[in-house]
Every structure is written in C-alpha cells, then in structure tokens.
Amino acid sequence: MALGYSLIVLTHPLTAFMTGIMFVPPLILLLLHKDTRSWSYWLRLIKTGIKTIMLVAIITCGYWLPVEEQNYNIPMRRPLTLVLSQTAKTPLQIIQGLGQSQLWSYSLGIIMGVALLALLVFVWKDSFVYQIVAIEAIVAIILSTNLIPWQYLQNTFFNYLQFPWRFLNLATFFLAVYLSHVLVIIYKWSQSKSQILFLSAIIVICSVQVVGSATSVYQRTTNIPILPYAQSNSLTSANIEHLNRNFTQRDYYPLASNADADSLEQHQSIINGNMVKLPIKTTTNTYQTHYYSKKRTTLDLPVIYYPGIKAVVNRNLVTKQVSSRGTIAIPVHKGANRIILQGSYSELAQISFIISILGILVTGSLIFRYW
C-alpha cells in the first residue's frame, strides 16, 4: 500500500490528495462492520497506518523535500483558482456521459456505464470487500458532481482540486475493479466454449472503443477557450509554438518572477537598474555569458533562483543571491567577466534522493520477504 500510494504521489500529488479522501468511506464501513468491533483490531490498523504514512514520506521525500526547499527560498504561485461549484458535473451530465464512447471526454463512458450497471445488479449479495469497492465508486461519482456543496469548500484547501470531476478518474478505477470481478464470476458460470466467446467479445469491445477513440482524438483539434488573445482557439502544429509562448497561466511560477515573466523569457539581464540583453550560450546544465563592467556592480541574470545552482565568474566561485524578481544576482568585477551558471541538485535534494532510494529498497525487500 505504501509503495502504491507513493507512486501516486510521485505521479500526480493532487490525485494522491483525492485518494486520501477516498480512504474515509472504507474506514466508516469498517467501523460499522461486526468483525472490527475490537480495540485490538483498530490498534493494529492505526499502527499500520502510521507505518504506511512514514514509509510514504520516506519514499517520496526525494520529491517533496526539494520542492519545499525551493518554495522556502523563493515562494511559488499556486494553481489557478476556479469556482468548484461551477466546474463540478451535474447529475444529468454524468448520466449523459454514460453514452460517450470517446476516452478523451471527462465522463464515465459506455464501458464504465456497463460496469455501473453490473455493480447495481451484483453488489447487494456480494462480499464485504467488493461492496466497499462498489461504494467507493459511487462516492467518487457523487464527489464529482454539484450534489456536494462545493461552494462551502471554495475558500479551503479543496480549491486546489480546480475540477471536482477529477474524482471520475478514481470512479473509473473502482468501476474497472468491480467490472473485472463481475466478469470473473460470469466466466466461471460459463461453459468452456462460452468462456472463449465471452473473453473474445470483451477484448473486441474494448479494442473497438480504444481504436475508435484514439482515431477521433487524432482527427480532433484541441479547444483552448482560455486563450482569448489567440486568433484561433484550435491547437495545431502550425500555431502550437506561438500559443505556448503566449500562454499566460503560470502555475507554480515564482511569485517574485511573475511581474517580470516577459523580460525573463526574452533573457534580459538587469545591470544598474537597466535592462540589457547579453549574449548567452547554454548547454544541458549551464548558462554562459560575458559582460564588460566599468565598475564593480551586481548583475541580475534571467535565470530563476535555485539553491543548487553554482555561479562562477572568471573561474572563481561567487556567492549568489535572490534578486527582487526571483532570479540569480551575482557580483561582477570591473573589467571583463566570464560568467557560468552551472545547474546541479542542492545538498538537501541529493540527500533526499538517497533517502527515497533506500526507502524503495527497504519496501521492495519487505514485499519479497512476505510474498
């Protein structure tokens, strides 16, 4: 469980947050179940939960610790805040989405619609474990809709969700698990020839939807309604570079750099309060330039500050500072200055990577030990 949740954190932290919310219904169901009404059971569960949280923190510290370090040195913008009650699906939209055959649409689709139907048929006499899976699917669907009073959660941490319909991703997961369970039951009920036909039909149906949806996505242009400055809201190979360069939303962009984003993208340095565009040369992990100064001064380079970056002037390591626009400021001498900024991980980041690797190895050894 710790390894699985860690993978979710490393893949998409917001999904990890939503997954954490989905732990609540099973805990409530366990609380009401007759086999869990003992202090020893809950004590073991709490101990396991604490161990899991600690292991997840260790495995993922190679991600969150460098992020926190960077945010401490130079605070970053949060994602765009949207009105949750407006971006949530309506129950009618959920029902209409059951008829969708396109995988790119933010809806459950036909296959998950079949899974939902199977759930409603089989869940009543199913095992407790699969009843939990079914309830999780239903809860996730409800959370994606405006049946939840999202307006009261607008000014809380929940506004990081942006779109409550993200819970449909989790609903799809639980529905897929339950549908697999139902298919196994039907398969066991069938005769040998019927089993082959049954499995073949499932493969054909899923393949047709995947191929058909992929073809539709390939032929479809992507609509970008949040780009009012663009002459066309369609994303094509001809305009993609232009639209990318002019995209105004900068999630997780340094707060101090936001007002100067345009000048930074144009690689403009600041010297004695004046904007100057210096000749630059870049490699995979270096930024190189040169500047002839008439006096000793401070040079503000168009490179976002990061603790691990090393600044070298005329082959001498110099102390870097955070400028008012969130970039690297370094002292330069009178005369010619050859400047190299070399990117590398900070010491804290390197240590966190080692801890994460050790955590993964320990988790892997435990899995093989109890396999």
Give the C-alpha separation, 6 to 360, whole Å.
10
pLDDT tens digits along 150-205: 999 988 888 888 889 999 989 989 999 998 888 888 777 776 666 677 777 777 87
Backbone angles phi, psi at 319, to 5 degrees: -80, 125
What is the identity of the amino acid at 202?
I
State the amino acid at position 299 in one-letter form.
L
Backbone torsion region of residue 273, taken as left when φ is above 0, otherwise alpha when ψ lies between -120 and 50, otherwise beta:
left
Q: What is the pLDDT of residues 79-101, one digit of tens each?
A: 778 888 888 999 998 888 887 76
Confidence of residue 357 (pLDDT cuts 50, 70, 90): very high
Strand 274-276 and strand 269-271: the pairing is antiparallel
Structure tokens at 313: 């002037």
Of 356, 366, 363, 365, which Cα lies nearest the Cα of 59? 356
| CATH assignment, 256-348 | 2.60.40
Distance CA 371, CA 366 (A): 8
Distance CA 269, CA 277 (A): 6
E strand segments, 83-177: none
Nearest-CA neighbor of 71 among 319, 255, 320? 255
pLDDT in tens, 246-284: 666 677 888 888 888 888 888 899 998 889 999 999 988
User: Domain extents for the chain?
Assistant: 256-348
pTM above 0.85, yes or no: no
The CA distances from residue 351 to 63, 189, 258, 311, in Å, are: 11, 55, 30, 21
What contacts 242, CB < 8 A, 6 or more positions away? 230
Quickly state the pLDDT bin for 336 (edges 50, 70, 90): very high
